[in-house]
Structure 1
Amino acid sequence: MKKILVPTDFSEQAMVATQVATQLGKNAGAKVTLLNVVEVPGGPSFSTTGPGAPSTDPSDNVFVLSMVKQAQEKMEELVNEDQFEGCDLHYLVTVGNPFSQIQEMTKEEGVDLVVMGTKGATGLEEFLVGSNTERVVRLSKAPVLTLKSNIDINNIKSIALATSLHEDDLKIAKALKDLVDATSASLHVVRINTPNNFQSDRITKNQMANFVKKLGIEGIAEHSYSDAIEEDGIIHFAEANNVDLIAMATHGRTGFLHLLSGSIAEDVVNHARRPVWTFNIK
């Protein structure tokens, strides 16, 4: 793990992500970059002196330039705080769409981990709106660590990898090993058994042994856990076993397919109290 990205809007949740990311950066010897994206107002350009003609360059807008300057000043204060001493910490302020900018920087800079704070969402808000964090979880080409509250990364002693045991899930092996190495945590691999996806213990045991062998990480504990639905099983397993962090793959569904089937990873991110690490294997 060499490069960590932290999108920030200077909120309480973003500060949590910054604090955890800098701890990880120190442990892994990684560069940490804070990214703030100033959103461009839609439609015709406007300025502090009134409406104007459409601009070919949104950053020419007086209001946007003022927002960029304010963000840069906040960033300067943030990266120079004493609590971040000893971390290779940098910042970048850009103009545009937050999700697009996060995706672009992740790809261009070869980011190894995106760390984001989230409030989570429930009910109608979850169905209709979701959040930028959920969208990044679903589509990011780099692993994403989401947090609801501040944690001491050095207190992460156990990680639960929830998996279907399919070959595709092995794509997370290298990134997962980076996470295990950065936290020095023990790893639990668990398959959730549900009424709609039932599998005998004999079959699960054989599949688990093959999966763990191919994963290539030492000292793995193997589990099968039964629950009504998979997302509840993942959360309940973590609670029952005092796991500190949940890890899982996501399949990056979009459009109508995502609307129909949803995303187990996004549901877990929304409802779990623990940090959740996800990796898009699409």
Structure 2
Amino acid sequence: MRILIADDEPLARERLGRLLQEIGPPWRLAAEVADGPAVLRRCAQGDIDLVLLDIRMPGLDGMQVAAQLRQLQPAPVVIFTTAYPERALDAFERQALDYLLKPIRRERLQQALDRAQALSRVQLRSLQQVKDRPTDAICVRLRGELLRIEIDDVYFFRAEDKYVLVRHRDGEALLEDSLKTLEQRFGGRFLRIHRNALVNLSYLIGLKKDPAGYPCAALKGCDACLEISRRLLPQVRDWLRGRGQMTDDK
């Protein structure tokens, strides 16, 4: 598969090219460019399968380039590269297959390329041609890597000190976003049950009491007991009753 490296830093292009050479077939470096317009001109030739695309470039930044690349037939797969982890969310919103944080390690690049190879060419094109839409996932850092968590897999968000704990199907993670930001972003899918907690309505099935006798949210598939504040308890009861769910927590 033919790869285009797009980065305005010569040393970054050189490093990626060297890593691709080490990885070898079926991947082959087709070209290197240093700015956004050059990416579009080269990809318009129709022979590029995958673009390793830096986010910060002159002319057009990587996000703008990715949006235009999706209009090509066929559209190349995009894997973003950047030194700025805060851009991960933007990258996934642009339907990038993956996101590599500089300095890029060979093992991490190999992992991203393996993901691309596992998809058929038709699937790759479809991935890049999806229209812009609000993301249905969050990104967190875990052991130095970026992890994408689908919102459908999140049980709840709970504020803890300076962070927000995310409890999901595969475990827990920490976010730097505020609960208010998360509530605004995923409004309608999560319900605030306490000043420090939001629960995914898809998992809210009833009420129960904790050992101290305080009302808590019962969540399907999750054994956590999230306290419901007295002020918000009527709202939670009303939501459950409206869906025929059990509300008796006595």
Taking structure 2 as the reference length, the TM-score comes to 0.33
Q: Where is the strand percentage greater, Structure 1 or Structure 2? A: 2
Between Structure 1 and Structure 2, which shows a larger proportion of helix residues?
1
For CA contacts below 8 A with separation 6 or more, give which structure has more relative contact order. 1
TM-score, normalization by structure 1: 0.30
